[in-house]
Each structure stands twice: as structure tokens, then as C-alpha cells.
Structure 1
Amino acid sequence: MAGSLYGFIVDAEMPYFACFRKPTSTSLMLTYPVPPFTTIVGMIANALGVSRPVYFEGIAKLQELLWLNLRPITTLQRPSRELAKILKLVGEEREQRQPTSFPSSPMHKYFLVRPAFRFFVASEDNEAISEIADALRKPERPLYLGQSDDMVVVEIVWQGEVLPTESDQAWAMLVGARASNEQSVELLRLPLAFASERQLLYSPLLSLPTRFPFQLPNPEPMWRFGDETVPLICIREAMKNAVAGETGGN
């Protein structure tokens, strides 16, 4: 664990809908209950104004720098569902054809209604954290989470030095399967980072409590953001572990 980090808390509210699509869903458009880490990093890159020609280089730099975690601000909600018509844009002449001339198929799409999340963002690089926080206050481009038409309103609610501590209260997701007689949790793995333009790496198993703080039986190593203590996932280290897991450690 690093000696200290620099970071901020950002509250993200979506005034309409959100769909954080599971990449393996096909006939159903399923959504994660919270934004994946790739989605948060993409939002930060958008705020910084990272251009398309150097997009993946910018993403790789952020993945190298950032430590992240998150939680819903309100009670964890169940997704709603709608029936959508999906156009299948196929063929070399798709730009010249009218949308009505393409084949389509019905699909059930799951989405969240007016969700809000709290992101905990930290790094060992104080200058980078200040630049990211300033960009979120005055983004270079309009911000969204998930789909490009799902706008998000963000607010930096705390910024400063993030110190290591021990606590029996977790204000964000926890690594590993956790159990409690008083609080239920949802187990999930989230897209963590891009190993390449086409390859996704996934997080370790995470426990998402239905409400916060999650009471632990014993104090555990945490990071303190103001009055809240959270475990953080170092994207760089988690990527190494994910790659090692895929290759069997060889």
C-alpha cells in the first residue's frame, strides 16, 4: 500500500436514464448496476478532451495513474426494462441507405432510472489529480456515462490528501465475496481496463452492498476520503493480476 495518495470525491447524477451494457449480452441488452471502471475512465478522458487519434494512449495513461472505487448515492435500484427496435447496419453501402431499409429486430433493453453515484478517484500523482478535477469542473466536451446520449452532471464534493487507515466501515464496493447478517450484497465483476483496442480485462470479484456504510466484522486497510473510508482498486496492479490470471501466471 502506498504511503499516501491525492484524490477527490465526485458525485455523478444522471437526470434521465443510464445503461451500462454488459458486453456479453446479445439478444438482451443487460446493464450493470453501477458504471464499470472503463466507463469512469472514459468519462475522465472526455472531460480532459482526449482526441480520437491519441484516445487509447490517453486511456492507457489514465489506467496507469488511477485508483478507483464507487458506490450508489441512493438505494441500489433494480433495472427497468423496455422493448427496443435495433437496426442492423450491415453492408458496404450503409451510409447511403435510408434507416428504414435496414433489417431490424426487437430487443429487451434494461436501464436505470435517474441513477446517482459517488466516485472515489485517487493517484500518487498530485498534479494529474488536480488536472482531472479541474477538467471535471470545466470539461472540454459534454459528459456522459455509458451510452453517448446518457448525459451526466458531476460535482467535486471533496479534494485533498488521501491517507491510509484501518476501518470497519466501507463506503464503497469491497473486493471478494462478503457476507453479513444485516446487509445483503450483490456479487459482480466489472470491466476494469482495456488491454488492447479489442480486449477487455475484468476486475476481481466485487461485493456491492445494497446500502452504505457496509459494516465489517473487523477493521481492514482502507483509504480515507474526508469522513468516508473506502478500499481502492489500483487499476495498474489489477490489470497485472487480471493478465496473470488469464495466462495462468505464466
Structure 2
Amino acid sequence: MNKIYGFFFDISGDYAHFRHIFTQSFFDTLLAPPKTTISGILAAALGYDDEIEVIDLNERVLVGVKIIKMSGFAQEIINIKNLKEKTIQFTPVYRNLIVKPIYRIYLGLEDKELIHMTREALKSPKHPLYLGISEALATIENISPIDSIKEDSTLTIESITPVIDEGNLPSHKVDKRNFIVPARRYHTVKSFKLTKRGRLPHEYIDLIMFYGGYLEFKKPIDVFQIQDERVALF
């Protein structure tokens, strides 16, 4: 593997919603931003307006996520257009929100110039940053220095983890904090492609997300070490 450079930053907001695309009767949320959302945040910070640039960035960057804090969940009712009707009609739908989340986002890139540009852009974003929806403005803090990142392995991990081996699924070990969210497997979009019909999902990924405690595997998994933290990048 070529040399990879990386850093992390914390992103927070009053609310977040990352649409779980396989729920229809109501809008459920993933617990943390998927790769495509993180790439969108980076693209907004960099000032990318061309969708091809955003898709290319998503292909090049490795990302990892750890949920630092969340206070709970809330629900709201939103009105969405009913496209099946001949006249414009709106249907009320429940949307789940995450309350006061803080995420640590880890990035890895082989392109040293781009990783430096990205870090500088996060200090002063060209466009507003959101946690999934336009009502959820985001704040960036705690941007770490850039360093080369190393491959490693571990039996335990505190970051969101992709499912690589069906025979090595983890157990969720819980600590003594008051509020936890049990580990759950989400099937979501990893990348998009541009077609004549517009942007469509290209690759999917299964991610294990949780809040509180850590995941423990039966066999060691491959991870990366960023600033003394072992994290899964995908």
C-alpha cells in the first residue's frame, strides 16, 4: 500500500439526520454520517460545486467515524411531495433526529496536497456544512495535525466498523454510561455514479454503528492508526 496521510476533526450540531434509505413509511436515521455524507461535507468545505468532483473525492478518500457524544433522539413531522399523484400533494411523514451529536471524523488520502487543502478548508469552509439535512448546521472543532497513518490490527474498536467477514461479527461491550445505543447493522450507500438519469447509487456497504462501549471481535481486524487511535477506514 502507498503511503497514506491522515488527520481527524470533530463535527457537532444541535441535530443530525442521515437518511436510512431503506425505510419508507417514516424517515429513520443512521446513527452516524455514511461515507457519502462525509465526502459531501468535505466537498462543501473545499467549495466543490461540480458533482463529478464530489464523486471523485468520495472515491479517493478513506473515512472513519466515532460517535463521541449524543443526547438522545427526537421526532418531527415533515411534509413530502407525493410524486405518484397527478396533482401536487403532500404527505406528512415522521423523521427521526439525533440530538446534540458530536462525531470524530478520520480521513486518509494518498494525495498529500489534497489532504493539506482539505484540512485548511475545514478551518474556513467555502459553503455551510450540514449534518445530513439543511436544518442541521454543523460546527468543526479540534482539527488534528496531519501525519502518515499506519496499518494495524485489533480485537476491539470504538469506531464505526464495516462488515468484512460474516464469520467475525463483533459483540457490543457496554460501559457504565447512562445512555447507550446498542450496535446495529446498517446497509447504506458507499458511492455514487453519474448516469443519464442523474446521480445513482454505485456501491453499497454494511456498517455496524453504536454509541457507548466498544466492539469486540473473535479474530483481529485490519485497522489504521491515526494519532494513536485505532480506527476502521472505508
- TM-score, normalised with respect to structure 1: 0.77
Choose between structure 1 and 2: higher strand proportion: 2
Q: How does 1:144-163 map to 2 (within 5 A)?
A: 144-155=130-141, 156-163=143-150
- 1:169 equivalenced with 2:164 (yes/no): no
Moved more, 107-116 or 180-189: 180-189
Structure 1, unaligned runs of 5 or more = 95-101, 234-250
Deviations 1:94-116 (Å, cap 9, x if unpaired)?
Answer: 9xxxxxxx643322111111111
Give the whole-Å Cα distance in 2 for the aligned partners of 1:202 and 1:212.
29
Equivalent position SS for 2:137? coil
Deviation at 1:85, TM superposition (A): 3.6
Equivalent position SS for 1:130? helix
Q: How does 1:83-162 map to 2 (within 5 A)?
A: 83-86=77-80, 103-155=89-141, 156-162=143-149
Give the whole-Å Cα distance in 1 for the aligned partners of 2:186 and 2:25.
21
Match for residue 223 of structure 1?
224
Which of 49, 60, 64 aligns to 1:65? It is 60
Partners of 2:2 and 2:110 within 8 A in 1: no
Match for residue 203 of structure 1?
204
Choose between structure 1 and 2: higher helix proportion: 1
Change over 3 Å in CA distance of 1:9–1:78 after alignment to 2: same
Equivalent position SS for 2:173? coil
User: What letter corresponds to residue 4 of structure 2 in structure 1?
Assistant: L
> What RMSD, in angstroms, separates the aligned Cα atoms of the two structures?
2.7
Moved more, 58-67 or 113-122: 58-67
User: What letter corresponds to residue 43 of structure 1 in structure 2?
Assistant: I
User: What letter corresponds to residue 150 of structure 1 in structure 2?
Assistant: A
Match for residue 74 of structure 2?
80
Match for residue 178 of structure 2?
none
Give the whole-Å Cα distance in 2 for the aligned partners of 1:180 and 1:167.
14
Match for residue 13 of structure 1?
12
Partners of 1:172 and 1:212 within 8 A in 2: no
User: What letter corresponds to residue 171 of structure 2 in structure 1?
Assistant: S
Partners of 1:186 and 1:210 within 8 A in 2: no
Deviations 1:193-237 (Å, cap 9, x if unpaired)?
Answer: 11223311343322224335433344432211112111211xxxx
Give every structure 1 segment of 4 or more consecutive aligned residues whose post-TM-superposition deviation is greater than 4 Å: 87-91
Give the whole-Å Cα distance in 2 for the aligned partners of 1:181 and 1:43.
29
Structure 2, unaligned runs of 5 or more = 175-181
Equivalent position SS for 1:60? helix
Moved more, 183-192 or 143-152: 183-192
Count of aligned residue pairs for this structure pair:
219
Give the whole-Å Cα distance in 1 for the aligned partners of 2:4 and 2:129.
26
- Looking at CA atoms only, which structure, 1 or 2, has the larger radius of gyration? 1
Match for residue 247 of structure 1?
none
- TM-score, normalised with respect to structure 2: 0.82
Which of 152, 175, 180 aligns to 2:171? It is 180
User: What letter corresponds to residue 18 of structure 2 in structure 1?
Assistant: F
Equivalent position SS for 1:132? helix
